[in-house]
């Protein structure tokens, strides 16, 4: 089966699974997954697991239907990267604390002998990305080139997972980025999973949280592994640069100061005024 029909079916599957899962989560409204967003409105984090399952389902369906050489390995790599990132993200969502933020904060806490939930997530996402990088089929001949592919894909996967999580600070922002990057990159199953949850995300009924944002970011990078080397290197430079920049600047402030970015960021967003919701507050 050709790639495009397979990707379209995978995108549809990802969207349906993530949308249905999110609606079930909203209807059930499990207290353990309930938080208040940046505006004090109650949201459910069950969107995250729904998006992750949708992304895995869409990716596996795409690769199996495509049937190209190495497609089964890509399906396994996507499952490992998305599933691993989602698992440690869910751990941070449910059991994490805000005692430290950013790489510097978590490393500073580690130097004091404190292992933060964020550090556990960083290690977990890195391990999942490394495993996926090894599983992915090599794109070039030669042992040295294959090692280079593993390093590039691993770093891009881990960095993308963290970057999308950094953007999950306002309703719909991370999902818009996934769709905006995923469609031109050919990561249609991941874009589909994001499209399936974006309506409820924008409306302020649910949010991706660490679980969903890390999972979709990782899945986006795994899907990009088939792109030409120059494109992946450019993407890697951008991802690393933005991750480093986040240690010093606020993406929310940068977006708010740019009229075009601010308009895109606000597009489609529902009301987000204060409410009387109860529960821990998350900046998302």
Residue 252 neighbours by CB distance under 10 Å? 16
pLDDT in tens, 155-165: 999 999 999 99
pLDDT in tens, 172-225: 999 999 999 999 999 999 999 999 999 999 999 999 999 999 999 999 999 888
Joined tokens for residue 81: 């990267």
Residue 91 neighbours by CB distance under 10 Å? 16
Do residues 217 and 161 make contact, with C-beta atoms less than 8 angstroms apart?
yes
This prediction has a pTM of 0.89
CA atoms within 13 A on the CB side of 77: 28
- 44 phi/psi in degrees, rounded to 5: -110, 140
Burial of 193 (0-12, 13-18, 19+ CB in 10 A): buried
Q: Using alpha carbons, select from 17, 137, 8, 14 the residue that is nearest to residue 66.
A: 8
Quote the pLDDT of residue 278. Answer: 43
**CA–CA separation, 96 and 99 (whole Å):** 9
94-108, 134-148, 153-167, range with greatest mean pLDDT: 153-167
Q: Using alpha carbons, select from 129, 214, 224, 127 the residue that is nearest to residue 166.
A: 214
Q: Would you kindly state where each structural domain of the chain is located, as residue ranges?
A: 3-266
Work out the pLDDT band at 275, boundaries 50, 70, 90: very low
Joined tokens for residue 207: 């949010």
**CA–CA separation, 274 and 6 (whole Å):** 43
């Amino acid at each position: 089966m050709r790639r495009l029909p397979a990707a379209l079916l995978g995108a549809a599957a990802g969207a349906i699974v993530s949308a249905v899962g999110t609606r079930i989560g909203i209807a059930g409204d499990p207290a353990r997954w309930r938080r208040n967003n940046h505006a004090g409105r109650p949201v459910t984090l069950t969107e995250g697991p729904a998006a992750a399952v949708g992304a895995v389902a869409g990716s596996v369906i795409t690769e199996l239907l495509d049937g190209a050489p190495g497609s089964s390995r890509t399906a396994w790599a996507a499952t490992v990267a998305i599933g691993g990132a989602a698992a440690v993200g869910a751990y941070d969502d449910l059991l994490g604390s805000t005692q430290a933020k950013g790489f510097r904060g978590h490393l500073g806490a580690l130097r004091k002998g404190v292992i933060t939930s964020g550090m556990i997530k960083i290690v977990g996402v890195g391990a999942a990305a490394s495993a996926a990088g090894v599983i992915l089929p090599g794109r070039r001949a030669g042992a040295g080139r294959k090692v280079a592919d593993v390093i590039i894909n691993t770093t891009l996967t881990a960095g993308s997972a963290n970057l999308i999580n950094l953007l999950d600070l306002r309703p719909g922002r991370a999902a818009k980025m996934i769709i905006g990057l995923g469609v031109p990159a050919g990561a249609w199953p991941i874009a589909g999973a994001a499209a399936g949850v974006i309506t409820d995300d924008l409306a302020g009924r649910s949010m991706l949280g660490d679980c969903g944002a890390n999972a979709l970011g990782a899945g986006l990078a795994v899907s990009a592994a088939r792109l030409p080397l120059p494109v992946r290197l450019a993407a890697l430079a951008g991802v690393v640069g933005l991750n480093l920049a986040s240690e010093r600047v606020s993406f929310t402030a940068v977006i708010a100061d740019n009229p075009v970015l601010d308009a895109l960021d606000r597009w489609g967003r529902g009301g987000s005024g204060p409410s009387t919701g109860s529960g821990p507050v998350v900046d998302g």
